[in-house]
């Protein structure tokens, strides 16, 4: 099950996602930062260039928020959640923070509903909101379902007057039931730890000999575990023989069927028990394995300058969760993008193989990219069309065109009825959708655009260092006339390096429009000398049927995700 939804996550959750069906939920909702966040689009030579607003992270108390609050008090959410909302209102008043919490509350209730009993939820937030959200999650899940507050270092240090700089985010980890799936994962030991505890044996293996009475447990017995072995009598110490789990894990199948002293013999023969001359007690031996390390704690913080201090790797401490900088190869130009390593840790530890991961605020698709590479199923939801388009193109960049056969997409028009619905509900997203079909970069604003709704770039040299533009204009209304074509071509002629004009119409164009386009002349592409119509009129219906403008090969507008292959031939993003 791999699905991508364009729409309000509350509506999608209620309408499309079954109860008790999801293994893991990760959500990184807007934090009420009062900022506008942009998507960066690549320039002609691939560098980040244009910025287009993706979403506005500002919340206000409105009549709609008041209506949600009243519904909560009238039973739309569990009583504990309604009580929490009432307490928040008494504490905070009717302000933007309360609006944020009231908006989040019914979504968290729905997310709890769709989780399996073995499922977990991670809510990613900043310290300004984490304490309120934790109370809200306690009301939804119950306080005893809280597992961890994880601190993630999201940037390097800065200077802020009159307070310490905030450089971390919070991840609130909750489990739905007592038996939630959890697979603890490890990070490498430091070289100092290995050097101080392990010594090399005659076979070149690094071993650590433990001390104390580790091969025994408290209490003497009369059975086999209480009998002497190789001259050592556990009963004399008031104890009995017991084999540690880490020793048993290193033994072949059938080991557990042996008697206790037979297990000790087998471990001794395998060099996993050491008896030194004159020793008071035998000691188990721990050999350093490739996957040994310390279990993750609740602080995930990359430490610059620690490269080389970890055993078996040249990476620094927590380098896999290092924040994304402007020169990072993983950067896609989405301002709230998180590193895949962060999601790798969450998914690997709390979602079973082939389980389903849900991200209801999927943004640029980092959760989806990580889940795809780790072999999990996924569901992504986002209310911003630019995010959905970016995710689709990110997946293609990573896995090739055939990746689209692996997942379904909902909410994006697939027929004329869907196109009309999108135009009537959100004309601006309709324009952005139409521009994206022809691989264009949509306009930042709907007004004051001089008739330009998007730009499509194509190369002017083999190396791609130079490019030219095709200007895209989208018309969703029924009042079409030849003047629209002439206005578009006037913009093309007045725009530096614009060579082609593309007019996309929801309705069928008039004969006069087609005649005006035919009289606009042709453009000759210098790379092949092939000629293309300077003015082209194409309908939404034609685009849905697979037709595209007749023009040179286009340059994809988004900053491109990098494709890699592991030794098995499977692609992955690093």
- What is the average pLDDT value for the chain, to the nearest integer? 88
Q: Which of 239, 257, 287 corresponds to the end of one domain?
A: 287
Q: Tokens in use for 216? A: 């025994």
Q: Could you list the residue range(s) of the whole structural domain that residue 468 is in? A: 416-544
Q: What is the C-alpha to C-alpha distance for residues 504 and 471, in angstroms, rounded to an integer?
A: 11
**How does residue 496 score in pLDDT terms, banded at 50, 70 and 90?**
low
Residues 134 and 211 reside in one and the same domain:
no
**pLDDT score for 320:** 94
Comparing 233-247, 365-379, 402-416, 433-447, the range with the smallest average pLDDT is 433-447
**How does residue 465 score in pLDDT terms, banded at 50, 70 and 90?**
confident
Residue 270 domain flag:
yes
Q: Tokens in use for 361? A: 């605020």
CATH number, position 357: 3.40.50.150
Indicate whether 428 pLDDT > 60: yes
**pLDDT score for 157:** 65
Give tens-digit pLDDT for 205-232.
998 887 766 788 999 999 999 999 999 9
Torsion over CA: 385, 387, 391, 393 (sign):
positive
Residues 36 and 159 reside in one and the same domain:
yes
Residues 253 and 208 reside in one and the same domain:
yes
Residue 471 domain flag:
yes
**What's the mean pLDDT in 128-155?**
95
Residues 327 and 301 reside in one and the same domain:
yes
Residues 71 and 215 reside in one and the same domain:
no
Give tens-digit pLDDT for 20-37.
999 999 999 876 444 443
Residues 77 and 166 reside in one and the same domain:
yes
Indicate whether 266 pLDDT > 80: yes
**What's the mean pLDDT in 504-528?**
95
**pLDDT score for 52:** 40
Which residues 6+ apart lie within 8 Å of 39 measured at CB?
51, 52, 53, 54, 333, 334, 335, 364, 386, 387, 390, 558
Residue 193 domain flag:
no
333-371: burial string, b at 16+ Cβ within 10 Å, e else: bbbbbbbbbbbbbbbebbbeeebbbbbbbbbbbbbbbbb
Residues 256 and 212 reside in one and the same domain:
yes
Q: Which of 393, 410, 427 corresponds to the end of one domain?
A: 410
Residues 48 and 169 reside in one and the same domain:
yes
Instruction: Report H helices in 74-231.
Output: 79-92, 96-114, 127-141, 191-197
Residues 114 and 258 reside in one and the same domain:
no
429-467: burial string, b at 16+ Cβ within 10 Å, e else: bbbbbbbbbbbbbbbeeeeeeebbbbbbbbbbeeeeeeb
Residue 64 domain flag:
yes
**How does residue 299 score in pLDDT terms, banded at 50, 70 and 90?**
very high
Number of domains within the chain: 3
Residues 527 and 436 reside in one and the same domain:
yes
* Residue predicted with more confidence, 44 or 11: 11
Q: Which of 287, 322, 342 corresponds to the end of one domain?
A: 287
**pLDDT score for 50:** 41
**pLDDT score for 464:** 67
**pLDDT score for 40:** 39
**pLDDT score for 13:** 97
Residues 182 and 319 reside in one and the same domain:
yes
**How does residue 561 score in pLDDT terms, banded at 50, 70 and 90?**
low
**pLDDT score for 328:** 81
Residue 556 domain flag:
no
Residue 564 domain flag:
no
**What's the first-to-final CA gap in the chain, in angstroms?**
24
Residues 181 and 205 reside in one and the same domain:
no
Half-sphere CA count of 402, side-chain side, radius 13 A: 1
**pLDDT score for 62:** 86
Say what angle helices 96-114 and 127-141 make with each other, to 10 degrees.
40
296-to-183, 202, 259, 384 alpha-carbon distances in Å = 11, 32, 35, 34
**What's the mean pLDDT in 120-137?**
94
Residue 172 domain flag:
yes
Query: What does pTM read for this prediction?
Result: 0.84
Q: What is the C-alpha to C-alpha distance for residues 458 and 349, in angstroms, rounded to an integer?
A: 44
**What's the mean pLDDT in 185-189?**
94
Q: What is the C-alpha to C-alpha distance for residues 59 and 231, in angstroms, rounded to an integer?
A: 75
Quick one: CA torsion of 344, 347, 350, 355, rounded to 10 degrees? -150
CATH number, position 479: 3.40.1350.10
Residue 307 domain flag:
yes
**pLDDT score for 117:** 97
**How does residue 371 score in pLDDT terms, banded at 50, 70 and 90?**
very high
**pLDDT score for 47:** 42
Half-sphere CA count of 94, side-chain side, radius 13 A: 8
Indicate whether 451 pLDDT > 60: yes
């Amino acid at each position: 099950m791999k699905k991508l939804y364009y729409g309000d996550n509350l509506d999608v959750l209620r309408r499309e996602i079954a109860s008790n069906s999801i293994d893991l939920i990760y959500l990184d909702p807007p934090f009420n930062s009062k900022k506008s966040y942009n998507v960066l689009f690549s320039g002609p030579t691939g560098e980040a260039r244009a910025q287009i607003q993706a979403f506005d992270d500002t919340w206000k108390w409105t009549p709609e928020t008041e209506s949600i609050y009243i519904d909560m008090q009238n039973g739309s959410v569990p009583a504990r959640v309604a009580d929490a909302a009432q307490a928040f209102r008494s504490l905070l008043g009717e302000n933007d923070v309360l609006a944020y919490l009231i908006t989040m509350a019914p979504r968290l209730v729905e997310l709890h509903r769709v989780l399996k009993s073995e499922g977990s939820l991670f809510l990613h937030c900043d310290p300004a909101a984490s304490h309120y959200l934790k109370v809200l999650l306690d009301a939804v899940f119950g306080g005893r379902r809280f597992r961890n507050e994880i601190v993630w270092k999201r940037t390097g240090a800065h200077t802020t007057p009159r307070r310490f700089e905030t450089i971390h985010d919070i991840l609130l980890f909750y489990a739905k039931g007592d038996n939630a799936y959890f697979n603890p994962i490890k990070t490498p030991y430091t070289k100092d730890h290995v050097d101080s505890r392990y010594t090399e044996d005659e076979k070149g293996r690094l071993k650590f000999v433990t001390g104390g009475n580790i091969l025994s447990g408290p209490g003497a017995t009369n059975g086999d575990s209480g009998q002497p072995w190789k001259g050592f009598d556990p009963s004399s110490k008031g104890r009995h023989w017991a084999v540690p789990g880490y020793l048993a894990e290193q033994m072949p199948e059938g080991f557990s069927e042996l008697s206790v002293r037979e297990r000790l013999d087998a471990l001794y023969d395998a060099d996993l028990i050491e008896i030194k001359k004159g020793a008071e007690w035998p000691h188990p031996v721990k050999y350093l394995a490739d996957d040994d390390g310390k279990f993750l704690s609740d602080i995930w913080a990359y430490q610059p300058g620690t490269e080389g201090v970890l055993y078996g790797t040249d990476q620094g401490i927590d380098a896999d969760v290092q924040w994304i900088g402007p020169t990072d190869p993983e950067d896609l130009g989405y301002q709230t993008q998180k590193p895949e390593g962060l999601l790798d840790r969450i998914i690997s530890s709390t979602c079973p193989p082939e389980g389903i991961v849900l991200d209801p605020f999927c943004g640029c698709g980092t959760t989806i990219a990580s889940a795809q590479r780790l072999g999990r199923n996924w569901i992504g939801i986002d209310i911003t069309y630019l995010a959905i388009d970016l995710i689709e193109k990110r997946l293609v960049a990573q896995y090739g065109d055939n990746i689209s056969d692996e997942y379904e997409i909902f909410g994006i028009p697939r027929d004329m009825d869907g196109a009309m619905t999108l135009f009537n509900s959100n004309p601006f997203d309709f324009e952005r959708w139409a521009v994206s079909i022809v691989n264009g970069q949509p306009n930042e604003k709907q007004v004051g655009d001089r008739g330009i709704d998007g730009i499509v770039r194509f190369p002017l040299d083999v190396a791609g260092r130079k490019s030219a533009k095709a200007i895209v204009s989208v018309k969703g209304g029924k009042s079409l006339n030849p003047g629209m074509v002439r206005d578009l071509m006037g913009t093309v002629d007045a725009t530096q390096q614009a060579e082609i004009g593309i007019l996309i119409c929801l309705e069928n164009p008039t004969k006069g429009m087609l005649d005006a386009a035919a009289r606009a002349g042709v453009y000759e592409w210098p790379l092949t000398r092939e000629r293309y119509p300077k003015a082209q009129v194409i309908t939404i219906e034609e685009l849905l049927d697979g037709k595209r403008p007749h023009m040179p090969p286009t340059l994809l507008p988004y900053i491109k995700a990098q494709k890699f292959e592991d030794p098995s031939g499977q692609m992955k993003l690093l």
